[in-house]
Structure 1
Amino acid sequence: MDEDELILQQQEEGERLKQRRRIDDITWLMGDARGRRFVWDHLKTTRYEGRTTLFDTHGGRQSYLLGAYEIGRNLSEEIRALRPEQYLLMVRENADQPQEVQS
C-alpha cells in the first residue's frame, strides 16, 4: 500500500467515525425528554415548527429568517432519517392538547 492509499484510507476512516459519532449524538439527544424539548425549542426558534410566517418586507430580515428556517429544516430531516420514531414522539409531546384535556 503506498502513501496516498494510506492517507485516503485514514481520511475515509475519519469520516466514518465522524458520521458514527453524529448518529450516536442524535440518538442520545432524542432518547430523553429534555433533549426532545431542546430540539423542539430549536425548531420553533428557527420557525421550522410553528405557525409563524417567514415573510418580511425587509429583504435582509427575510434572508435571515430563511437561513434560520433552513437550519431547522436540515436538523429535522436528519432526525427524521436517523430516529423517526423519536421525532414523532417529540411532535406528540409538544402538540397542542384539546381544551378539555388541559383542564
Structure 2
Amino acid sequence: MRIVPFVFAALLLLVHAELWFGKGGVPHVMSLRSELTEQRARNDEARARNERLMAEVADLKDGVEIVEERARLDMGMIKPDEVLVVVAPGSR
C-alpha cells in the first residue's frame, strides 16, 4: 500500500512533463506565437500593398491624370504645346 502514492506521483510527474515539454508544451506554443506574429506582419504589409494597387487601378480606370503621368515618366511623352526641359543632376 505504501507504493501507491509513489506510483501516482510518478504518473503525475509524467503527465506534467508532457504538458510542459511535449507536442503541445510551452516551447512549442511560444514558437507558434512568434510565427503568428511574423505572419500577421507579412499580412499587414500585403494588405497595404493591395490597397495601394487597388487605388492605382481605380485611378487608371477613372482618371486620365495618372495615365498622362505614366506616359511622361515612362515613355518621355509630352503634349503638343509643352516644352521638355531636362535638368542634369549636379548642374547649376
TM-score bracket for this pair, using the shorter chain length: 0.3 to 0.5
TM-score (norm 2): 0.43
More helix by share: 1
Instruction: Name the structure, 1 or 2, with higher relative contact order (CA <8 Å, separation 6+).
Output: 1
Larger Rg: 2
